[in-house]
């Protein structure tokens, strides 16, 4: 049971990366991915916030993607509140997807339905 | 048709559905892309806009993607907030923000206080923050507040070079103690990959805030990370005999002038300090002071006679975050189990 508690926070601190013990190995960070989907739920929690996104695969089937965001202190510093993302909204996330192929990614920026882009 | 074919190829390369948006260019971290988003002011309002002397107004604001957010004459504020104020004279509040890509914005709102002229001096006691280190009723400096992790990769500001004669910033292992140096293999996901406490002083060096609450006979040092806290008596008492080994140790404190000196023993041997394990003989002396109202100075002298040849010193500073008054909740089990993302590893 390995949990990566502040991978995202470590990634954010680009100016002086944390030491190597914060593995980022599970996400493809060098080649970012953008996905669009409909928010199923938004979990405003530490150590990281999560969005569960209903994404259509290439056959048109719904696939639930798990979108990891920063910790709450980072998100607040970007101007987020717990209602910034709402269930039912169509949003676009850009970040690193799981190398394993699992429907999972860590999102660095997010586009809301009105076109606003936010660090995430 | 050709464009469509190219698009399909691009999407096929990403493994995503054809309904998906165009993909960002390869080779750049998404955090660098996000780091260029400009700042914007979503709203800045005051209500009501006309009051009688002694009445209150509510200032609200919302900013997105800021590097800095300030309201004159209040000072630094969180990107989203609300303050109830009692301006004694007609006052104009100015919200100024800066962000990435040289972006900046500014807005003003004015409240007219009947029968007064616009005030040039700071007009509001609520808005005025202390400019020097406040003191408690018993005369000690008051460290209470929320502190950030500042620059330096979540570890506070980088340490200054050790002065001549000062303790070293890195330890020297005793002969035969090489096993206490942490060497991580590819399968070792590290100190922070479980819900176990990082201990002292590592709890100070994570990218989550800390908060100090000071009472007459105790100081509470709380860390957002894992919501760990210590309630430390400051009356100079001794350690209890043979305290049970624990993650955060047994801590007692005393004042030396304006410096709080925290002495702790009774640690278990499960934590690491800057890449070194230790035994239950770990002894840490922390010194906390405030050189100015906005800065917390932190020193930890580390000793373990079973591991190190002598004491060594970790020094950090942490910025006061006057815009926050409490830590966030942190429930480790909220985090997802990432093992599936590693496949079978």
Contacts of A96 in chain B (CB under 8 A): 29-30
What's the token pair of residue A110?
């997010």
* Cβ atoms of A112 and A91 closer than 8 Å: yes
Tell me the two tokens of residue B278.
């230790």
**Interface test with chain A among B34, B76, B326, by most A beta carbons within 10 Å:** B34
Q: State the burial class of residue B103 (Cβ atoms within 10 Å of its Cβ: 0-12, 13-18, 19+).
A: middle
Looking at residue B326, the DSSP 8-state letter turns out to be S
Tell me the backbone φ, ψ of residue A10, rounded to 5 degrees: -65, -40
Task: Pull the structure tokens for residue A66.
Answer: 């798990």
Q: Six-digit token pair at B31?
A: 């955090």
Whole-number pLDDT of residue B131: 85
pLDDT in tens, B136-182: 999 999 999 999 985 433 344 455 556 778 899 999 999 999 999 99
- Measured between beta carbons, the chain B residues lying within 8 angstroms of A59 are 17
**Looking at the complex, does the CB of residue A15 fall below 8 Å from at least one CB of chain B?**
yes
Chain-chain contact of B30 with A17 (C-beta, under 8 angstroms): no
Q: Which phi and psi (to 5°) does residue B119 adopt? A: -90, 135
Q: Which of A22, A99, A120 lies at the smallest CB-CB distance from B190?
A: A22
Q: Half-sphere exposure of residue B34, counting CA atoms within 13 Å on the CB side?
A: 32
State the pLDDT at residue A95: 95
In degrees, rounded to 5, the angle at the alpha carbon of residue B251 between the alpha carbons of residues B250 and B257 is: 165
Give me the pLDDT at residue B160, please. 57
Nearest-by-Cβ selection for A16 from B31, B153, B334: B153
pLDDT on residue B4: 45
Judging by DSSP bridges, how do beta strands B259-265 and B283-292 pair with one another?
Answer: antiparallel
d(CA B111, CA B127): 14
Please state the domain extents for chain B: 2-34, 40-113, 145-334
The full 3-state SS of B223-271, as one line of letters, equals: ECHHHEEEEEECCCCCCCCCCCCECCCEEEEEEECCEEEEEEECECCCC
Taking the C-alpha atoms of residue A86 and residue A80, their distance in angstroms, rounded to an integer, is 12
- Which of B16, B28, B341 shows the shortest C-beta gap to A26? B341
How confident is the model at residue B45, as a pLDDT? Answer: 98
Nearest Cβ partner for B331 among A26, A45, A96: A45
How far is B225 from B223, CA to CA, in rounded Å? 5
Q: How far apart are CA B234 and CA B342, in angstroms?
A: 47
Put simply, the answer to whether B153 touches A68 (Cβ < 8 Å) is no
Considering only CB atoms, A1 lies closest to which of B184, B209, B337, namely: B337
Instruction: Output the CA–CA distances (angstroms, integers) from residue B128 to B76, B183, B213, in the order listed.
Output: 11, 50, 21
Contact A119 B66 (CB under 8 A): no
From the list A3, A76, A92, the residue facing B195 with the nearest CB is: A3
Which of A118, A103, A119 has its CA nearest to residue A33?
A103
What one-character DSSP code corresponds to residue B134? -
What is the greatest pairwise CA distance in chain A?
42
Partners of residue B101 in chain A, C-beta under 8 Å: none
Q: Which one of A1, A15, A50 has the shortest CB-CB distance to B339?
A: A1
What are the strands of the beta sheet with B283-292, ordered from one edge?
Answer: B250-256, B259-265, B283-292, B295-303, B312-319
B40-113 topology per CATH: Immunoglobulin-like (2.60.40)
Burial status of residue A72 (CB atoms within 10 A of its CB: 0-12, 13-18, 19 or more):
buried
Q: Return the exposure string of A10-19: e unless at least 16 CB atoms fall within 10 Å of the residue's CB, then b.
A: bbbbeeeebe
Nearest to B296 by CA among B171, B163, B177, B142: B142
To the nearest whole Å, the CA of A96 is away from the closest chain B CA by 7
Q: Where are the alpha helices (DSSP H) in chain B?
A: 2-14, 30-34
What pLDDT sits at residue B159? 55
Q: Provide the pLDDT for residue B188.
A: 74
Distance from CA of B27 to the nearest CA of A (A): 5
Sign of CA dihedral B233, B272, B211, A5: negative
Closest to A106 (Cα-Cα) out of A74, A59, A61 = A74
Q: What is the pLDDT of residue A100?
A: 87
Residues 6+ apart with CB under 8 A from B85: B56, B57, B58, B59, B124, B126, B127
Q: How many contacts (CB atoms, under 8 Å) link A and B?
A: 216
Alpha-carbon span A111 to A84, nearest angstrom:
11
Residue of B27, B187, B207, B210 for testing the chain A interface, max A β-carbons within 10 Å: B207
Minimal CA separation from B96 to chain A, in Å:
14
Among candidates B111, B49, B99, which has minimal Cα distance to B70?
B99
Asked if B207 lies within 8 A of A55 by C-beta distance, the reply is no
| DSSP bridge partners of B83 | B59
Interface TM-score (ipTM) > 0.85: no
SS3 B7: helix
pLDDT(A17) > 90: no
Three-state DSSP class for residue A9: helix
Question: Please, which residues bridge with residue A53 across strands?
Answer: A39, A65
Residue A3's pLDDT band, with cuts at 50, 70 and 90, is very low
Identify the pLDDT of residue B195. Answer: 85
Above 50 in pLDDT, residue A19? no
Strand partners, A92: A36, A111
Any B CB within 8 A of A57 CB: yes
Substitution target in B15, B31, B276, B342 with the highest count of A β-carbons within 10 Å is: B31
CB B193 within 8 A of CB A4: yes
Q: Which residue of A has its CA nearest to B13?
A: A33
Q: Using DSSP, state whether B1 is helix, strand or coil.
A: coil
What CATH number is given for A34-119 in this structure? 2.40.50.140
Q: Does A81 touch chain B (CB under 8 A)?
A: yes
Q: Which strand (E) or helix (H) includes residue B127?
A: none
Question: What pLDDT score does B129 carry?
Answer: 78
**pLDDT per residue as tens, chain B (345 positions):** 344 444 444 444 445 555 788 888 888 999 999 999 999 999 999 999 999 999 999 999 999 999 999 999 888 999 999 999 999 899 999 999 999 999 999 999 999 999 988 875 555 555 567 889 999 999 999 999 999 985 433 344 455 556 778 899 999 999 999 999 999 887 777 777 778 899 999 999 988 999 999 999 999 999 999 999 999 999 999 999 999 999 999 999 999 999 999 999 999 999 999 999 999 999 999 999 999 999 999 999 999 999 999 999 999 999 999 989 999 999 887 776 554 554 434
Indicate if the pLDDT at residue A39 is higher than 70. yes
Q: CB of B34 within 8 A of CB of B28?
A: no
B32, B228, B338: best to mutate for the A interface, most A CBs within 10 A: B338
Residue that is written with structure tokens 């970007």 in the block:
A78
């Amino acid at each position: 049971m390995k949990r990566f508690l502040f991978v995202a926070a470590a990634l954010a601190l680009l100016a002086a990366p944390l030491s190597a013990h914060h593995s980022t190995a599970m996400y493809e960070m060098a080649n970012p991915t953008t996905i669009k989907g409909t928010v199923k739920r938004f979990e405003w929690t530490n150590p990281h916030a999560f969005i569960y996104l209903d994404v259509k695969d290439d056959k048109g089937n719904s696939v639930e993607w798990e979108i990891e965001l920063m910790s709450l202190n980072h998100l607040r510093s970007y101007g987020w509140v717990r209602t910034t993302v709402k269930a039912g909204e169509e949003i676009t996330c850009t970040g690193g997807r799981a190398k394993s192929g699992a429907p999972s990614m860590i999102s660095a920026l997010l586009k809301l339905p009105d076109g606003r882009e936010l660090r995430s | 048709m050709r464009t469509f074919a190219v698009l399909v190829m691009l999407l096929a390369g990403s493994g995503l559905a054809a309904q998906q948006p165009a993909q960002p260019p390869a080779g750049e971290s998404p955090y660098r892309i996000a780091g260029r988003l400009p700042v914007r002011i979503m709203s800045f309002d005051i209500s009501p806009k006309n009051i009688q002397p002694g009445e209150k107004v509510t200032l609200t604001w919302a900013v997105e993607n800021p590097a800095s957010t300030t309201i004159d004459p209040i000072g630094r504020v969180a990107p989203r907030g609300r303050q109830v104020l009692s301006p004694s004279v007609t006052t104009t509040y100015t919200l100024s923000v800066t962000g990435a890509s040289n972006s900046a914005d500014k807005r003003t709102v004015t409240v007219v206080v009947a029968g007064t002229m616009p005030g040039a001096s700071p007009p509001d006691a609520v808005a005025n923050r202390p400019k020097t280190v406040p003191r408690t009723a018993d005369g000690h400096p008051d460290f209470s507040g929320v502190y950030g992790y500042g620059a330096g990769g979540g570890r506070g500001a980088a340490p200054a070079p050790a002065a001549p004669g000062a303790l070293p910033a890195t330890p020297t292992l005793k002969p035969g103690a090489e096993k206490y140096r942490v060497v991580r293999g590819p399968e070792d996901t590290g100190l922070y990959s479980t819900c176990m406490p990082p201990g002292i002083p590592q709890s100070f060096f994570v990218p989550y805030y800390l908060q100090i609450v000071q009472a007459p006979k105790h100081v509470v040092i709380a860390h957002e990370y894992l919501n760990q806290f210590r309630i430390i008596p400051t009356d100079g008492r001794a350690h209890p005999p043979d305290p049970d080994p624990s993650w955060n140790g047994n801590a007692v404190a005393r004042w030396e002038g304006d410096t709080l000196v925290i002495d702790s023993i009774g640690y278990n041997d499960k934590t690491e300090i800057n890449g070194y394990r230790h035994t239950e003989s770990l002894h840490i002396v922390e010194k906390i002071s405030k050189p100015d109202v906005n800065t917390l100075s932190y020193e930890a002298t580390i000793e373990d006679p079973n591991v190190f040849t002598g004491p060594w010193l970790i020094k950090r500073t942490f910025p006061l975050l006057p815009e926050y008054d409490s830590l966030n909740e942190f429930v480790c089990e909220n985090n997802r189990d990432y093992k599936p993302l590693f496949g079978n590893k």
